C-alpha cells in the first residue's frame, strides 16, 4: 500500500511490486482515459504528466513515484490544456480517439515548455505518440492553433 | 467548397451550439413508451432530444456523425438536439443492405447502404410530427414548415418543438410513403459539421471496450501457441496460480487462459504459466519459403479472373515485352486499442461489450459457446479504438474467446479478455502475403497491347460464411479486386489467380485486395509509360476515355498538385489512381530522399469522387488517415515468419508511421449528385504506388517488394 498524488488528491493505492502506474490508474482508480497501447513506451497512448512533464505510465513503476505530482487527462486543467483541447475539438483531430488522451497530454507538455513551437519542436515532442488512424496532419495543425490561441 | 472554419463563422451561434450540443448516449435515457419511435433508427423524446440509433460501429471513420446527419437532415432536426446511440445486435432491423443478412460495418458501406434507409426514416418521423401539429392546430399539414427542430404554422403563428408534439405524434401510424428533400434544400448534408464523438475523445471520457468495468470483473489473457495450428498438449497451472491476483488458469480452444483481478496480475500469471504445445499440425514454413514457392507458382497459368482478347498472342506479337514480379508481405492491422471483449454470464442470459464490426456474428458465436439462444445474448456496442478490418472476423474470434473464458470460470465473474500488443502482432489474421507477376506488351508506337497479371496468395474468404457469395469458380474476389476491375483500355488483358493453402490465418485489411492490386497495376502502368517515352498522366488519361469519373478525379488531382509546374532539385512527383468501394481516388505524391535512400513524402494531393460527401470534413479526414495508414505499411510494415514463428513482437519491430513522417495533404472532393460511396478505405490504395512512382522518377529505382524499408539494408536506415 502507498499513497500517490493524482490530479491534486492523495490516493491510497495497492502499488506494491513492479506494477506500472498505467495499471494503477486504470484498474485500481478507474481513471481509464489513460490508455494501454503497447506496454513498452513505444506508442505514447499511456502518456500522463509527472511533475508537469510527459511520462509514459506503462513503464513508470508506481512504487517509485513518492510524492511527485501525477496528472491524467481527467485532471488536466489550465489555459494551455483548454487551448489544446479546444483546438483538438474545433479541428476534429480525433478519429477512433484511442490515442488522443496521450497525444493531448504530450501536446500540453510541449506548449507549457515552448509556447510557440516550430514544426521541428512538434516532431521532437510528438514522435513518441503513435496514431494508427494517422491524424498527424490535424495534430500538428491543432498544436499550432492552440499556440495562436494562447498568444504565444 | 465550404470549409469548416467558414461554416462555423458564418452560422450564428452554431460554433457554440456544436461545441456543447453533442453527447454519445450509451443507454436510452427514457423508459420505452414515452418517446416517439416511428422506426428502428430514431427516437424523439418529450425532452426534445433526438436519438439516432447507429447500426454501424464507430471505429474512427465518422459513421455516427454521418448516420446522424442523414437522418437529421430529412427530419429537419436542430443539430444540437441530436444524439447517437449504438444499435443492439439485430440482423433483421439493422442488416447491412449491401452485404447482409447480418449487421455489419465494413467494405466502406456504412453511408452507402444507409443513405436511402435513413433519409426515409427521418422523413417519416418528420411527417408524423407535422401531422400531429396539423391535427392539434386544426390547420392543413401542407401549410406547416419545419426548421431546426421547430414545427411552425406561419398563418396562425403557432409553433411547437418536437418534444411538445411527441405525445400526439405517438398516436399516429407512420405513413407508408414520404417525400424526400431536394438536395438544394439540404442544411446538414454536405456541411462540415463537427463529429458527434469529438468532445468525448478529447477529455478522456470516451468509453472503449478496454474501459468497461463491472463489479467483480476479472481480466483474462490467453497463452496462445507459438506456431499457427499448434494446440495445447499439457500445462502446469501451479506457478501462474501462485502469482498474487491470479484466480483461474483454464484451458480454452485457442490456448490456456490466465484469469486475474487485474491486467498486471494476469500478465505476470501468463509469464509464469508453463504450456507444452502439440505442434504436429502446426504451420512451420516461413515467409522466405512462401515467397519462393509463390514466385514459382506465378510462372504457371492460374484460374482466370478476367480475360479480354488474347493476351498470350498479343505478348508474342508485341514489339517490346516487360515483366515485373512484386512481393507483398503479411500485414497486421495493429489498431491502437488492442483486441478485447467483455462477457458477463448469468443464468439464462449473457451480455457482451465489444467494438465489433459484425456484432450479429459475435452474438451467434457467443450464444453457441455458452449454450443460449442468440436472442439471450445482449451485445453492447462500444466505440472501437481503430479496427481496419481486424474486428470483423467471420468466426467472431475475440468474442468467442471471451465467452469461452467466462464459461470456463463457471460464470463466477464477468470477464474482460485482453490481447496484449504482442498478442495482436503475433496472433495472425494478417493481410495475406502475395506475389504478383505482370507482363506487358507495347506495339511499335508504344501503345499497350497486352497485359497479363498473375496473383498468388491465400484466400481471405475460403471457409467463411462469405465464401458462397464472394468466391466464384474458385476465384476469391478479394484476391483479385482492383486488378480484375482495371479500368484502363487495353485490348488484350488477363488476370489469373493461384490460391494457396497456408496455415497462417488471414483477414481483410483496410481496402482488402486493393492493398496490393493498386500497387502492382499502378506502378507497372507507370513503367510501361516510361518505356514508351510517354507522360504517366497522359497515358492514364488516354486509357480512361470511357471512364469519366476516373478521368475527372485524375484531372482534379493533377490540377491541384500543379502537375505541370517544375519542382526544385531533389524532388519528384508520382501519380496513382484507383477505384475501390465505389469511390475513385487519385493521389499525386511529391517525394524527396532520406539520407538512407528511402523516400520521404513531402506532400500528397488527393482527389476523391465518393458521390455525395455527407460530411466533407470527414471525407477529408478519411483521405488523410487512409494516406497515413497506407504509407505506414508501404514504408515499414512487414510480418516476418521464420520456421513458423512470427518475429515482430511490438511497435519496436512492427514500426508504425510517426508524425515526422506524415506528409502535408490537400484533399479535393469531386462534386457530383450521385449517392454516397465509401470513404473509409479508398484513400489507402493509391499512396504506395504514387510514392513508388515518384521514387522511380527521382532515382530510377523500381520498387518490387514492399515495404520500402527493404530498399535500405538494415543498419543503414536512419531513424
**Residue B309 CB-half CA count within 13 A:** 14
Binary contact (B62, A134; C-beta < 8 A): no
Question: Which pLDDT belongs to residue B100?
Answer: 83
CA nearest neighbour of B436 among B327, B303, B288, B312: B327
Show me where the domains of chain B are located.
21-185, 209-280+339-418, 287-330+430-711
Binary contact (A43, B651; C-beta < 8 A): yes
The answer to whether B330 and B507 are in contact (CB under 8 A) is no
Supply the pTM of this predicted model: 0.96
| CATH architecture classification, B21-185 | 2-Layer Sandwich (3.30)
- Cell numbers standing for residue B677: 460511396
| B203/chain A closest Cα distance in angstroms | 6
Binary contact (B659, A127; C-beta < 8 A): yes
Distance CA B149, CA B553 (A): 37
Q: Which chain B residues are Cβ-neighbours of A131 within 8 angstroms?
A: 336, 628, 659
Distance CA B287, CA B294 (A): 10
Q: Among B8, B60, B627, whose Cβ lies nearest the Cβ of A95?
A: B60
Query: Which of B18, B264, B331, B635 is the best residue to mutate to test the A interface, defined by the most A CB atoms within 10 Å of its own CB?
Result: B264
Binary contact (B659, A33; C-beta < 8 A): no
Binary contact (B62, A95; C-beta < 8 A): yes
DSSP annotation of A27 reads I
Query: What are the φ/ψ torsions at residue B569 (nearest 5 degrees)?
Result: -55, 145
Question: Which pLDDT belongs to residue A14?
Answer: 86
Query: Which of B271, B619, B628, B659 is the best residue to mutate to test the A interface, defined by the most A CB atoms within 10 Å of its own CB?
Result: B659
Q: Which chain B residues are Cβ-neighbours of A104 within 8 angstroms?
A: 202
Q: What is the pairing mode between strands B50-54 and B82-86?
A: parallel
Distance CA B47, CA B25 (A): 15
Q: Does domain B287-330+430-711 bear CATH number 3.20.20.140?
A: no
CA of B641: how far to CAs of A125, B327, B638, B647, in Å? 34, 15, 10, 6
CA nearest neighbour of B329 among B637, B704, B709, B717: B637
Distance CA B7, CA B3 (A): 6
| B377/chain A closest Cα distance in angstroms | 26
CA nearest neighbour of A82 among B207, B19, B81, B336: B19
The answer to whether B625 and A134 are in contact (CB under 8 A) is yes
Distance CA B506, CA B574 (A): 31
Question: Which pLDDT belongs to residue B10?
Answer: 40
Question: Which pLDDT belongs to residue B493?
Answer: 98
The answer to whether B20 and B14 are in contact (CB under 8 A) is no
CA nearest neighbour of B431 among B578, B587, B629: B629
| Helix, coil or strand: residue B74 | helix
Binary contact (B421, A37; C-beta < 8 A): yes
Quick check: A45 contacting B, CB < 8 Å? yes
Please provide the distance, in angstroms rounded to a whole number, between the alpha carbons at the two ends of chain B: 39
Around Cβ B323, how many Cβ atoms within 10 Å?
11
Query: Which of A38, A45, A46, A74 is the best residue to mutate to test the B interface, defined by the most B CB atoms within 10 Å of its own CB?
Result: A38
Comparing alpha-carbon positions, the chain A residue that sits nearest to B653 is: A42
Binary contact (A96, B383; C-beta < 8 A): yes
Question: Which pLDDT belongs to residue B267?
Answer: 98
What is the separation of C-alpha B414 from the centre of its chain, rounded to a whole number of angstroms? 30
Q: What is the pairing mode between strands B599-609 and B664-669?
A: parallel
Distance CA B132, CA B141 (A): 9
The b-or-e profile of A4-33 (16+ CB within 10 A means b, else e) is bbbbeeebebebeeebbbbbbbbbbbebbb
Query: Which of B15, B65, B191, B202 is the best residue to mutate to test the A interface, defined by the most A CB atoms within 10 Å of its own CB?
Result: B202
What is the enclosing helix (H) or strand (E) of B236? strand B231-236
Query: Which of B65, B198, B204, B654 is the best residue to mutate to test the A interface, defined by the most A CB atoms within 10 Å of its own CB?
Result: B204
| Helix, coil or strand: residue B445 | coil
Query: Which of A100, A121, A127, A132 is the best residue to mutate to test the B interface, defined by the most B CB atoms within 10 Å of its own CB?
Result: A132
Query: What are the φ/ψ torsions at residue B174 (nearest 5 degrees)?
Result: -60, 135
Query: How large is the C-alpha radius of gyration of chain A?
Result: 15
Q: Which of residues 300-359 of B touch A (CB under 8 A)?
A: 334-338
Count Cβ atoms within 10 A of the Cβ of residue B204 and give its class: 0-12 exposed, 13-18 middle, 19 or more buried. Answer: buried
Comparing alpha-carbon positions, the chain B residue that sits nearest to A139 is: B659
CATH fold of B209-280+339-418, please?
Aldehyde Oxidoreductase; domain 4 (3.30.365)
Binary contact (B336, A130; C-beta < 8 A): yes
Residue ranges in chain B modelled with pLDDT below 50: 1-2, 5, 7-23, 25-28
Q: Among A23, A122, A134, whose Cβ lies nearest the Cβ of B629?
A: A134
Please provide the distance, in angstroms rounded to a whole number, between the alpha carbons at the two ends of chain A: 43
Binary contact (B386, A90; C-beta < 8 A): no
What is the enclosing helix (H) or strand (E) of B203? none
List all residues 6 or more positions away from B182 whose beta carbon is below 8 Å from its beta carbon: none
**Residue B597 CB-half CA count within 13 A:** 16
CA of B399: how far to CAs of A55, B113, B278, B654, in Å? 33, 26, 25, 25
Does ipTM exceed 0.95?
A: yes
Comparing alpha-carbon positions, the chain A residue that sits nearest to B603 is: A137
Quick check: B24 contacting A, CB < 8 Å? no
Distance CA A36, CA B651 (A): 13
B318-335 pLDDT per residue, tens: 999 999 999 999 999 999
- Cell numbers standing for residue B467: 465464401
Q: Which regions of chain A does DSSP assign to beta strands (E)?
A: 2-6, 9-13, 47-50, 53-56, 69-71
- Cell numbers standing for residue B518: 493498386
Binary contact (A98, B385; C-beta < 8 A): yes
Quick check: B664 contacting A, CB < 8 Å? yes
- Cell numbers standing for residue B558: 493533377
Quick check: B205 contacting A, CB < 8 Å? yes
List all residues 6 or more positions away from B292 whose beta carbon is below 8 Å from its beta carbon: none
Question: Which pLDDT belongs to residue B27?
Answer: 47
Quick check: B655 contacting A, CB < 8 Å? no
Q: Which of residues 112-141 of A touch B (CB under 8 A)?
A: 122-123, 126-127, 129-140
| B196/chain A closest Cα distance in angstroms | 10
Structural domains of chain A, ranges and CATH numbers in brackets: 2-71 (3.10.20.30), 79-149 (1.10.150.120)
Binary contact (A74, B204; C-beta < 8 A): yes
Q: Which of residues 46-65 of A touch B (CB under 8 A)?
A: none
DSSP B665-685: EEEEEPP--SPP---SSTTST
Distance CA B432, CA B466 (A): 17
Question: Which pLDDT belongs to residue B2?
Answer: 45
Quick check: B206 contacting A, CB < 8 Å? yes
Question: Which pLDDT belongs to residue B13?
Answer: 32
Q: What is the pairing mode between strands B349-354 and B434-442?
A: unpaired
The answer to whether B623 and B679 are in contact (CB under 8 A) is yes
The b-or-e profile of B240-249 (16+ CB within 10 A means b, else e) is bbebebbbbb
- B209-280+339-418 and B287-330+430-711 agree in CATH topology: yes
Question: Which pLDDT belongs to residue B717?
Answer: 65
- Averaged pLDDT of chain A: 96
Amino acid at each position: 500500500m502507498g499513497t500517490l498524488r493524482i490530479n491534486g488528491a492523495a490516493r491510497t493505492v495497492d502499488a506494491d511490486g513492479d506494477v506500472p502506474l498505467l495499471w494503477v490508474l486504470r484498474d485500481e482508480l478507474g481513471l481509464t482515459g489513460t490508455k494501454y497501447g503497447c506496454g513498452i513506451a513505444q506508442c505514447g497512448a499511456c502518456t500522463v504528466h509527472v511533475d508537469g512533464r510527459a511520462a509514459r505510465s506503462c513503464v513508470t513503476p508506481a512504487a517509485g513515484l513518492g510524492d511527485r505530482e501525477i496528472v491524467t487527462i481527467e485532471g488536466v486543467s489550465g489555459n494551455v490544456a483548454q487551448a489544446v483541447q479546444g483546438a483538438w475539438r474545433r479541428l476534429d483531430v480525433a478519429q477512433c480517439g484511442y490515442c488522443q488522451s496521450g497525444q493531448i497530454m504530450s501536446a500540453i507538455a510541449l506548449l507549457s515548455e515552448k509556447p510557440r513551437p516550430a514544426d521541428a519542436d512538434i516532431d521532437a515532442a510528438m514522435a513518441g505518440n503513435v496514431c494508427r488512424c494517422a491524424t498527424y496532419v490535424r495534430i500538428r495543425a491543432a498544436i499550432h492553433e492552440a499556440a495562436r490561441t494562447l498568444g504565444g | 467548397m465550404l470549409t469548416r472554419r467558414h461554416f462555423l463563422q458564418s452560422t450564428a451561434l452554431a460554433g457554440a451550439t456544436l461545441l456543447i450540443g453533442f453527447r454519445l448516449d450509451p443507454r436510452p435515457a427514457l423508459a420505452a413508451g414515452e418517446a416517439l419511435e416511428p422506426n428502428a433508427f430514431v427516437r424523439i423524446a418529450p425532452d426534445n432530444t433526438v436519438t439516432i440509433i447507429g447500426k454501424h460501429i464507430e471505429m474512427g471513420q465518422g459513421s455516427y456523425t454521418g448516420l446522424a446527419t442523414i437522418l437529421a437532415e430529412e427530419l429537419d432536426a436542430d443539430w444540437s438536439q441530436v444524439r447517437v446511440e449504438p444499435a443492439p445486435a439485430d440482423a433483421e432491423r439493422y442488416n447491412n443492405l449491401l452485404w447482409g443478412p447480418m449487421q455489419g460495418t465494413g467494405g466502406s458501406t456504412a453511408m452507402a447502404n444507409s443513405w436511402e434507409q435513413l433519409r426515409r426514416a427521418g422523413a417519416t418521423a418528420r411527417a408524423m410530427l407535422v401531422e400531429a401539429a396539423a391535427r392539434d392546430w386544426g390547420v392543413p399539414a401542407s401549410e406547416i414548415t419545419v426548421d431546426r427542430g421547430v414545427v411552425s404554422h406561419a398563418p396562425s403563428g403557432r409553433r411547437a418543438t418536437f418534444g411538445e408534439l411527441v405525445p400526439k405524434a405517438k398516436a399516429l401510424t407512420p405513413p407508408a410513403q414520404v417525400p424526400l428533400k431536394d438536395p438544394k434544400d439540404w442544411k446538414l448534408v454536405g456541411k462540415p459539421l463537427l463529429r458527434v464523438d469529438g468532445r468525448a475523445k478529447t477529455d478522456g471520457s470516451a468509453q472503449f471496450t478496454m474501459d468497461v468495468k463491472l463489479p467483480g470483473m476479472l481480466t483474462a489473457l490467453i497463452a496462445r501457441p507459438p506456431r499457427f495450428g499448434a494446440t495445447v498438449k499439457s500445462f502446469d497451472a501451479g506457478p501462474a496460480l501462485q502469482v498474487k491476483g491470479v484466480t483461474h488458469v483454464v484451458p480454452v480452444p485457442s490456448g490456456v487462459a490466465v484469469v486475474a483481478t487485474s491486467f498486471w496480475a494476469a500478465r505476470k500469471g501468463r509469464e509464469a504459466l508453463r504450456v507444452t504445445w502439440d505442434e504436429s499440425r502446426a504451420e512451420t514454413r516461413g515467409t522466405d519459403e512462401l515467397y519462393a514457392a509463390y514466385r514459382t507458382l506465378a510462372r504457371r497459368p492460374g484460374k482466370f479472373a478476367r480475360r479480354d482478347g488474347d493476351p498470350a498472342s498479343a505478348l508474342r506479337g508485341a514489339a517490346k515485352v516487360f515483366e515485373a514480379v512484386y512481393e507483398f508481405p503479411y500485414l497486421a492491422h495493429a489498431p491502437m486499442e488492442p483486441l478485447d471483449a467483455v462477457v458477463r454470464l448469468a443464468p439464462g442470459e449473457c451480455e457482451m461489450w465489444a467494438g465489433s464490426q459484425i456484432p450479429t456474428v459475435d452474438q451467434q458465436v457467443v450464444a453457441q459457446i455458452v449454450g443460449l439462444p442468440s436472442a439471450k445474448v445482449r451485445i453492447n456496442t462500444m466505440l472501437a479504438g481503430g479496427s481496419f478490418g481486424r474486428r470483423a472476423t467471420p468466426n467472431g474470434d475475440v468474442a468467442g474467446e471471451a465467452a469461452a473464458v467466462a464459461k470456463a470460470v463457471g460464470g463466477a465473474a464477468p470477464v474482460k479478455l485482453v490481447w496484449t500488443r504482442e498478442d495482436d502482432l503475433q496472433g495472425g489474421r494478417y493481410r495475406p502475403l502475395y506475389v504478383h507477376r505482370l507482363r506487358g506488351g507495347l506495339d511499335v508506337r508504344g501503345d499497350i497491347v497486352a497485359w497479363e497479371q498473375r496473383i498468388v496468395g491465400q484466400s481471405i474468404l475460403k471457409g467463411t460464411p462469405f465464401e458462397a457469395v464472394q468466391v466464384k469458380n474458385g476465384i476469391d474476389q478479394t484476391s483479385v479486386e482492383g486488378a480484375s476491375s482495371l479500368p484502363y483500355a487495353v485490348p488484350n488483358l488477363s488476370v489469373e489467380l493461384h490460391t494457396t493453402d497456408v496455415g497462417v490465418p488471414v483477414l481483410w485489411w483496410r481496402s482488402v485486395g486493393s492493398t496490393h492490386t493498386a500497387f502492382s497495376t499502378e506502378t507497372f502502368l507507370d513503367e510501361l509509360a516510361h518505356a514508351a517515352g510517354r507522360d504517366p498522366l497522359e497515358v492514364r488519361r488516354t486509357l480512361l476515355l470511357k471512364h469519366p469519373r476516373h478521368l475527372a478525379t485524375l484531372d482534379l488531382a493533377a490540377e491541384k498538385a500543379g502537375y505541370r509546374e517544375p519542382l526544385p532539385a531533389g524532388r519528384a512527383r508520382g501519380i496513382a489512381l484507383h477505384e475501390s468501394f465505389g469511390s475513385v481516388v487519385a493521389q499525386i505524391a511529391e517525394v524527396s530522399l532520406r539520407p538512407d535512400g528511402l523516400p520521404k513524402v513531402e506532400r500528397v494531393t488527393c482527389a476523391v469522387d465518393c458521390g455525395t460527401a455527407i460530411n466533407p470534413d470527414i471525407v477529408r479526414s478519411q483521405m488523410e488517415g487512409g494516406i497515413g495508414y497506407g504509407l505506414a505499411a508501404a514504408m515499414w510494415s512487414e510480418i516476418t515468419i521464420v520456421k513458423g514463428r512470427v518475429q515482430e513482437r511490438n511497435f519496436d519491430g512492427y514500426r508504425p508511421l510517426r508524425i515526422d513522417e506524415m506528409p502535408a495533404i490537400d484533399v479535393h472532393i469531386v462534386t457530383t449528385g450521385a449517392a454516397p460511396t465509401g470513404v473509409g478505405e479508398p484513400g489507402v490504395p493509391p499512396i504506395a504506388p504514387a510514392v513508388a512512382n515518384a521514387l522511380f522518377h527521382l532515382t530510377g529505382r523500381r520498387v518490387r517488394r514492399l515495404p520500402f524499408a527493404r530498399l535500405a539494408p538494415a543498419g543503414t536506415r536512419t531513424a
